Chain A
């Protein structure tokens, strides 16, 4: 079974600044996918970004980017130019066929 660890329960960032969320995972598989999901106060789970383990290039989606270190089994999320609407809980997830295994989540608060 895969385990996903998010070691930062809470983080706070000033609007327009950058914040990085850490995620590590444990697996014996060679090809896999990793995801970051966002859960704002509305409770809706929203995909932020995904990364294929075979791809060397780090994924980016607008202000969101990842630092994927396969050997270290690390998958951090960087939020640049933070906006108030980024306030949410962020979950790192390891994808197997037919299921996602989630980390415990990091609550991000963006301060005005």
Chain B
């Protein structure tokens, strides 16, 4: 059983398009995250949600809109895709968001914008 899953694993699209990435966790966690890993492999937090409520929005352009329909799901919708959005996007989850908790990561979604 996959603990944190993401779909799709790969996404190739044209500039200007809108796309979504889905994330699901079956760990019973309350907190979910989106991280972006750029071409230099640098990882940075984008959003954190706790119990479906937005906790952290780390100065991400408003073309990115996360949505959490329930505690087990956190989707990422991206409007008007730009070349600079090309990256690997990781979803993660943890029990309640506390700093002592291990975050469990999904397999990542590689997005390529042409």
Contacts and interface: CB of A to CB of B under 8 A. Distances in A.
Q: Does chain A bind chain B?
A: yes
Interface of A: 32-33, 35, 37, 39, 42-47, 50, 52, 89, 91, 95-102, 104-105
Nearest to A52: B100
Contacts of A44: 105, 107-108
A47 B102 contact: yes
Dominant SS at the B interface? strand
Nearest to B55: A98
Nearest to B41: A105
A50 B50 CA distance: 22
Contacts of B55: 98
Contact of B102 (A35, A96, A98): A35
B38 to A, nearest CB: 11
B45 A43 contact: no
A63 B45 CA distance: 29
A105 to B, nearest CB: 5
Dominant SS at the A interface? strand
16 contacts: A33-B100, A43-B110, A44-B108, A45-B108, A47-B104, A89-B41, A95-B99, A95-B101, A98-B48, A98-B97, A99-B33, A99-B56, A100-B35, A100-B103, A102-B42, A104-B41
Contacts of B63: none
B42 A98 contact: no
Contacts of B99: 32-33, 95-97
Contacts of B104: 47
Contacts of A39: 41
Contacts of A43: 88, 107-108, 110
Nearest to A105: B41
B50 A98 contact: yes
Contacts of A101: 45
Considering the complex of A and B, which 4 residue pairs feature the smallest CB-CB distances, nearest first?
A: A45-B105, A98-B48, A102-B43, A99-B45
A57 to B, nearest CB: 16
A45 B103 CA distance: 10
B61 interface: no
A51 to B, nearest CB: 11
Given A39-B41, A89-B41, A99-B48, 19 more contacts: A32-B99, A33-B100, A35-B102, A37-B105, A42-B107, A43-B88, A43-B110, A44-B105, A44-B108, A45-B105, A45-B108, A47-B104, A97-B98, A98-B33, A99-B45, A100-B45, A100-B103, A102-B43, A105-B42
